[in-house]
Amino acid sequence: MPIEVRSALSPLATPLAVSNGGTGAGTAATARSNLGLRPAALAEASPLQCGRLTLLGGTPITTADLTAQSTVYFTPWRGNVVSLYDGADYQPYSFSELNVALTGLTSGKNYDVFAYRTSSTPPNAFRSFDRASSLSGTTITVNRPAGVVSGDLILIFVKTANGPTGSATSGFTKVDGPAVTFSTWTSRHYCYWKRAGSSEPGTYTLNVGTGEKIAVAVAWKGASSTVDPVFGSASGRTCPSVTAPEANTKLLLCCMAHDVIGTPPSGTTSLFAGSYEEGSQSANYFFKFDTINGPSSATSTGTNAYASGGGNWPAAWTVSIPTEPPGADVTRIDLAPAWTNDTTRSAAVGLLAGQWVNGAPLTTVINGDTVAASRGLLLGTIRATGTATTEDSYVRRFCANLLHPVAKLLYRTDSTIHTYSSTTVRGWNGGNHTVEWVSPVPLYSTILQLNGAFSPTGAGTQGARISLGGSTTTQFVAIDFGLANPIGMGTALPTDPSNGYRVVYVTESATGSGNTTFFTFTVHAQVWV
């Protein structure tokens, strides 16, 4: 085929960059214009989506059981580009492995995982907390709060009962609070704080003196890396006024008392509350933590009062936390709010140019980022097995990919020999033997295969059954046999493509006359996740 070269064509003065970004004449928009394409043609023709969600870093397709996993990874797979909508076009961004540490989840809930662009600086906000108590010794040890990353503030509030003055602890700055006396007891208060480094220990041990004591550790994200927080404390339930170090700080408010603490100050957002009962005096230590926006200039924050709760040794803190300036935009992954139920999202999704995106603005669960409508790309769905864990195993496929699903094995077997006589349907051997999986949208049907062996009595009102059901009392399909002979049989349960969480139970019932002996079952399927 001849190629025509026209002399009227001349090379560009500078190389033509057809990638996201660039400057001057090399921008993507100029490139599209020079090529004679409409503005969205290159970006929207076929957004390039690479990568897979996984629970093991650097491993896009895992084969071993992964239980109680606390981090979700988005790792390159068939490329390292993800295309995200910017309000006009899909823009491609290269990425190395991304991850999000799980915390603050509700066990047994589904969570969508989105990729989106945001400032590299997280919002100035509470991240997580942990707490501890001790009756003896001169130190107290508290766990590092979940999800801490380099640059976070770590603030540990301590309350002691009738103990001596605490001392400095390596790596922390100690801020003295009030000593509050009631009767013959004196309760002392301190706050130890630091900025987290790149590698934080799993626990912190503080020198706080003898006596009963509690410690509450708070992790705070998005705080300034150069301007220190300002602390104020006082006896009673009124958080004192401090002078904010700059405009628009966040105020962390705390009240600790030897009894119930009343309603938080007006206009605040409650972060968490708790109590401990310790010691020979059965001392009930209560604490509440709340937050509110600081003043719009570097002025007095004003006081904030907790309602009286009738207890003793109360003390209150105000911490004015300055904000880290916004950093360059980065690609991040995070979770949308938990689904309303097993099959219904709380945060709607929809198709935009063939890609699943968030249908409305959402606030992410871990980092608290605001993602505008359509700016988050749905990568998949996980299901929480604890407050900070999920799973990808033979019995629970709880990390499901939307972009590049692969077939994985669901498999469960049990060979506990047992007997049963009733026609009432129950779980295998009276327990819960399930296979479970989750799907971000209805994509593929799953066919479960059941094999089992049992020996009926040959009498009664029905055959004995090993079955699959939606609960421990249901039977969708069954291996049914009524003769007095050992039998090994199989059956299948096809399922429609599902949205969200699915669970299938292995159940059994007997003839109603004499004991049926149940020997074994195996259930297996391929599920796309």
Q: Domain of 104?
A: 48-120+332-404
- At 51, the pLDDT band (50, 70, 90 cuts) reads very high
Same domain, yes or no: 143 and 256: yes
Which of 321, 355, 373 terminates a domain? The answer is: 321
* 132-156: pLDDT as tens digits: 988 878 888 999 998 898 999 999 9
Asked if 356 and 285 touch (Cβ cutoff 8 Å), the reply is no
Work out the average pLDDT over 35-61.
Answer: 75
Q: Residue 474: count other Cβ atoms within 10 Å of its Cβ.
A: 13
Same domain, yes or no: 424 and 398: no
The pLDDT value given to residue 12: 40
In DSSP terms, which residues pair with 481 in a beta bridge? 464
Q: Give the separation between CA 34 and CA 10, rounded to whole angstroms.
A: 13
Same domain, yes or no: 374 and 456: no
Ranges of beta strands (E only) in 222-282 are 230-235, 238-239, 250-258, 269-278
- % of the chain exceeding 70 in pLDDT: 88
Work out the average pLDDT over 250-261.
Answer: 88
Q: Tell me the average pLDDT of the chain.
A: 88
Q: Give the separation between CA 374 and CA 370, rounded to whole angstroms.
A: 12
Q: In this structure, is the dihedral angle defined by the CA atoms of residues 358, 360, 364 and 365, taken in order, positive or negative?
A: negative
Query: Would residue 502 count as lying in a domain?
Result: yes
Same domain, yes or no: 343 and 287: no
* 104-114: pLDDT as tens digits: 899 999 999 99
Asked if 314 and 236 touch (Cβ cutoff 8 Å), the reply is yes
Asked if 180 and 116 touch (Cβ cutoff 8 Å), the reply is no
Domain of 507, CATH number, reads: 2.60.120.760
* 299-354: pLDDT as tens digits: 999 999 998 766 678 899 999 999 999 888 999 999 999 999 999 999 999 999 99
Lowest mean pLDDT among 34-38, 281-285, 315-319, 506-510: 34-38
Asked if 20 and 9 touch (Cβ cutoff 8 Å), the reply is no
The pLDDT value given to residue 123: 87
Residue 62 identity: T
**Does residue 159 sit in helix, strand or coil?**
strand
Into how many domains does the chain fold?
4
Same domain, yes or no: 396 and 507: no
The pLDDT value given to residue 212: 80
Q: Is the pLDDT of residue 15 over 90?
A: no
Asked if 26 and 17 touch (Cβ cutoff 8 Å), the reply is yes
Query: Would residue 461 count as lying in a domain?
Result: yes
- % of the chain exceeding 90 in pLDDT: 70
The pLDDT value given to residue 340: 98
- At 483, the pLDDT band (50, 70, 90 cuts) reads confident
Query: Would residue 5 count as lying in a domain?
Result: no
Query: Would residue 201 count as lying in a domain?
Result: yes
Same domain, yes or no: 302 and 186: yes
Asked if 526 and 408 touch (Cβ cutoff 8 Å), the reply is yes
Query: Would residue 169 count as lying in a domain?
Result: yes
Q: In this structure, is the dihedral angle defined by the CA atoms of residues 136, 137, 143 and 145, taken in order, positive or negative?
A: positive
Query: Would residue 9 count as lying in a domain?
Result: no
Query: Would residue 327 count as lying in a domain?
Result: no
Q: Give the separation between CA 423 and CA 245, rounded to whole angstroms.
A: 73
The pLDDT value given to residue 186: 82
Same domain, yes or no: 146 and 292: yes
Same domain, yes or no: 109 and 68: yes
Same domain, yes or no: 138 and 240: yes
Q: Is the pLDDT of residue 520 over 60?
A: yes
Work out the average pLDDT over 35-64.
Answer: 77
Same domain, yes or no: 95 and 179: no
Query: Would residue 195 count as lying in a domain?
Result: yes
Q: Give the separation between CA 126 and CA 114, rounded to whole angstroms.
A: 21
The pLDDT value given to residue 311: 66
Work out the average pLDDT over 459-477.
Answer: 94
Which of 373, 404, 435 terminates a domain? The answer is: 404
- At 45, the pLDDT band (50, 70, 90 cuts) reads low
Q: Is the pLDDT of residue 291 over 50?
A: yes
Which of 299, 321, 343 terminates a domain? The answer is: 321
The phi and psi torsions of 21 (rounded to 5 degrees) equal 95, -145
Same domain, yes or no: 382 and 446: no
Lowest mean pLDDT among 73-77, 313-317, 451-455, 503-507: 313-317
**If you write DSSP's letter for every residue of 506-517 in order, what string do you get?**
EEEE--SSSPEE
The phi and psi torsions of 370 (rounded to 5 degrees) equal -95, 125
* 214-224: pLDDT as tens digits: 899 999 999 99
Q: Which residues contact 330 (CB under 8 A, 6 or more apart)?
A: 117, 118, 119, 120
**If you write DSSP's letter for every residue of 395-406 in order, what string do you get?**
SEE-EEESSS--
Same domain, yes or no: 136 and 222: yes
* 435-446: pLDDT as tens digits: 999 999 998 999
Nearest Cα to Cα of residue 194 among 160, 228, 146, 167: 228
Burial class (CB in 10 A: 0-12, 13-18, 19+), 510: buried
